[in-house]
């Protein structure tokens, strides 16, 4: 296990899904600390949830392991943010082969900008590979049930956004802190192609 290593997992997390949470918890098997960083672009932000709302949801999700997982947000180039946080690794999730070409391109650009910054690719868990924040929002907006795909607190917030009321108790998924589960885009949908942060990596 890498000692005293800080890994950054960037994305839009609009909202965070069980796929994202799964990826974070698996990352903790390899690295000591993970910063789950929301890539923010105020001038072009069409997100459903504000940055403040997303940060609050993530902090609730990772309550209990907040000593190793921290929710944060940033603007500008991911590589500059990583340097400020003294991180040496960027975590990216891959759901399918189609994700790889774009992720590889961004990883190479980030490496060119900051040669000491590495990108660590992780495959999405088999039960979450089809989940994305975009798909979750689309299903909820059409009246579909996404329980089991997002943490309980996120399910409640989604219901409030689209229906103006709280979801039934029987539709509540267990909290991610109890059930380990993965920027969009593998759960890393970061703003951009499937969204990534901004700049090189988004």
CA distance 9 to 68: 13
Q: Which residues contact 38 (CB under 8 A, 6 or more apart)?
A: 10, 11, 12, 13, 51, 54, 55, 71, 72, 73, 74
Q: What is the pLDDT of residues 93-148, one digit of tens each?
A: 998 777 888 899 999 999 999 999 999 999 888 777 788 899 999 999 999 999 99
Catalytic site residue from 133, 177, 183, 195: 133
> Domain 6-131's class?
alpha beta
Q: Are 46 and 161 in contact (CB under 8 A)?
A: no
Q: pTM for the complete prediction?
A: 0.78
Catalytic site residue from 25, 26, 95, 187: 95
Q: Is 111 among the catalytic positions? A: no
User: Tokens 């070409």 — which residue?
Assistant: 101
Q: What is the pLDDT of residues 42-82, one digit of tens each?
A: 776 789 999 999 999 999 999 989 899 999 999 999 999 99
Closest CA relative to residue 29, chosen from 63, 61, 2, 60: 2
Closest CA relative to residue 36, chosen from 5, 4, 58, 61: 58
Q: Is 20 among the catalytic positions? A: yes
Provide the pLDDT for residue 164: 53
């Amino acid at each position: 296990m890498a000692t005293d290593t800080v890994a950054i997992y960037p994305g839009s997390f609009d909202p965070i899904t069980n796929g994202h949470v799964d990826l974070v918890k698996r990352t903790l098997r390899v690295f000591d600390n993970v910063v789950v960083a929301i890539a923010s672009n105020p001038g072009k932000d069409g997100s459903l949830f504000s940055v403040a709302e997303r940060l609050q949801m993530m902090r609730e999700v990772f309550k209990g392991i907040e000593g190793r997982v921290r929710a944060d947000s940033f603007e500008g180039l991911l590589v500059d943010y990583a340097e400020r946080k003294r991180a040496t690794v960027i975590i990216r999730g891959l759901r399918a082969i189609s994700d790889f070409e774009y992720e590889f391109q961004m990883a190479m650009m980030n490496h060119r900008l900051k040669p000491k910054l590495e990108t660590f690719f992780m495959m999405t868990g088999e039960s979450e590979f089809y989940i994305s924040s975009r798909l979750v929002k689309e299903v909820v907006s059409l009246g579909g049930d996404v329980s089991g795909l997002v943490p309980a607190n996120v399910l409640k917030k989604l219901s409030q956004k689209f229906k103006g009321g709280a979801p039934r108790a029987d539709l509540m998924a267990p909290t991610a802190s109890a059930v380990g589960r993965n920027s969009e885009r593998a759960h890393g949908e970061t703003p951009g192609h499937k969204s990534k942060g901004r700049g090189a990596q988004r």
